[in-house]
Amino acid sequence: MAAKVWLVGAGPGDPELLTLKAVRALGEAEVVLIDDLVNPAVLEHCPNARVIPVGKRGGCRSTPQAFIHRLMARYARQGLCVVRLKGGDPCIFGRGKEEADWLAARGIEVELVNGITAGLAGATQCGISLTHRGVARGVTLVTAHTLDESSLQWRALANTGTTLVIYMGVARLEQVQGGLLDGGLPASTPVAMIENASLPQQRECRTTLGEMTAHALTFALKSPAILVIGEVAAQAAVSVLEHTA
Ligand code: SAH
């Protein structure tokens, strides 16, 4: 039997944001390796699969990447249909390409399946249009985790003229704030901090670049959260006003 691994994005959390292709892959899966940012509710689509948690959350006990590679290869070589399920999109800060290349180099067939990345979902769930016409000409996805902290990088990020969506920023709010302020972004720039995007426990904190660290503290912002920085972050949730005419 041909060995195959599906590298599947499970989306940001809401199980209804899964793609049809993800659902099909899960339906065919015999083994599912699941990251800890994935909502376990999506496992209803693979009731007969063996599910193996391989989470690697920052700061917590983690499964070494090399071990995950070997696990995928071992099951695929047994002729089993393997799904590697990742939060959001597998190739947005998700090591999807690394894993795909590693498997392909060993002759194992791989298929990547997109998921909706947390930054896009979080913004939409809060009524923010990341590339709103006339307000933002683009969007930049950035990780705060490996961000080069030289002032040049910050200056460049502060001057893109695009909406910034920052992943893995909760533990590095001060660096993000300081870097962007030093880089020339005004303190009044709107910021939305969105925790647990698309899940029932989603929370959002609207603030400004100048006040984001202080507000995150009073709000008790926790990971996972994304930061949306730019004029569009002031946009309000979509609501239907009562028609009085
Ligand atoms: N591949 C994932 C990102 C993994 S990096 C994706 O495409 O979404 C992990 C970071 O993603 C977290 O630190 C957080 O910044 C963000 N994240 C993931 N799920 C999230 C969620 N439901 N709400 C807010 N942020 C989330």
State in Å: Cα 1 to ligand 1 middle.
35
Instruction: Answer for the pair 171, 58: CB distance below 8 angstroms, yes or no.
Output: yes
The predicted structure's pLDDT at residue 158:
95
State which of 113, 120, 167, 204 you would mutate to test the pocket of ligand 1, scoring each by most atoms of that ligand within 8 A of its C-beta.
167
Residue 231: strand, helix, or coil: helix
**pLDDT of residue 178 exceeding 60:** yes
Q: Where do the CATH 3.30.950.10 domains begin and end in the chain?
A: 118-234
Whole-angstrom Cα distance, residue 123 to residue 137?
Answer: 16
Q: Percent of the chain at pLDDT above 90?
A: 84
114 contacts: CB under 8 Å, gap ≥ 6: 9, 19, 21, 89, 90
Residue 197: strand, helix, or coil: coil
Q: What is the mean pLDDT of residues 151-172?
A: 92
198 contacts: CB under 8 Å, gap ≥ 6: 11, 12, 13, 14, 17, 118, 121, 122, 125
State which of 17, 37, 223 you would mutate to test the pocket of ligand 1, scoring each by most atoms of that ligand within 8 A of its C-beta.
37
Domain 5-113 grouped into CATH 3.20.20.140: no
Lowest mean pLDDT among 49-58, 69-78, 122-131, 224-233: 49-58
Q: Domain 118-234 falls in which CATH fold?
A: 3.30.950
The predicted structure's pLDDT at residue 240:
79
Average pLDDT, the chain: 92
Ligand 1 atom 11 nearest Cα: 167
Residue that is written with structure tokens 């660096």 in the block: 175
Rg (CA), the chain: 20
Give me the active site residues, please.
35, 56, 168
**pLDDT of residue 14 exceeding 80:** yes
Whole-angstrom Cα distance, residue 81 to residue 6?
Answer: 8
pLDDT of 92-118, one tens digit each?
999 999 999 999 999 999 999 999 999
Q: What is the mean pLDDT of residues 64-82?
A: 93
Ligand 1 atom 3 nearest Cα: 93
Q: What is the mean pLDDT of residues 150-165?
A: 89
State in Å: Cα 212 to ligand 1 middle.
19
Tokens encoding 221: 């912002």
